[in-house]
Amino acid sequence: MIADNDDLKALIRTIPDFPKPGIQFRDITTLLLDGAGFAAAIGRLALRIGEKPDLVAGIEARGFIVASALAQRLGCGLLLIRKDGKLPGETIAEDYALEYGSDRLAMHVDAAAPGARVWLADDLIATGGSARAAARLIRRAGAHVAGASFIIDLPDLGGSSRLSEEGFPVHALVAFEGH
């Protein structure tokens, strides 16, 4: 799943113990600040996508950055999957488990046409809880999840394997060990 993207990996900064002790925060802001690196990341994610989807769906908040750039690159629309309570229209929502407690993602019920092919995007996949909740939302809306792209995978947390088991391709550019 991981090609040779060491140039991009070098642009991602690791902040230890953020937002709490023991977490190695993989910070993409340093990659985004590098114009060539940001463009290369989006270009390489786009190259892995075969048939053009109808929509790219981004998970709030950093997923919006990846998904909007990818949607522009592919020439398709952008679907926003937001924290519950933020979208103004009629929504459907899905809960997912966090290490402590749970969170809820929502999308506009009419955002995707029935049968639309939707490609999911976020900056990073860890446990896969948020991506799997987003995939459930897309299917509940009557659309089809065509695949998912992430800049970073944390394979030790198992999210990318779990998401792959749902039967669509899951791509990431770089992997980091641990949490």
- Residue 82 binds ligand AMP, judged by CB under 6 A: no
99 is an active site residue: yes
Dihedral (CA of 74, 77, 78, 84) sign: negative
62/108 with CB nearer ligand AMP: 62
DSSP secondary structure string for all residues of 19-67: SSTT-EEEETHHHHT-HHHHHHHHHHHHHT--SPPSEEEEETTHHHHHH
Dihedral (CA of 46, 48, 54, 58) sign: negative
String marking each residue 127-156 x if it binds ligand AMP according to CB under 6 A = xxxxx-------------------------
- Minimal distance, residue 129 CB to ligand AMP, in Å: 4
Listed ranges 23-31, 40-48, 111-119, 166-174: which one lies at the site for ligand AMP (CB under 6 A): 23-31
- Residue 25 binds ligand AMP, judged by CB under 6 A: yes
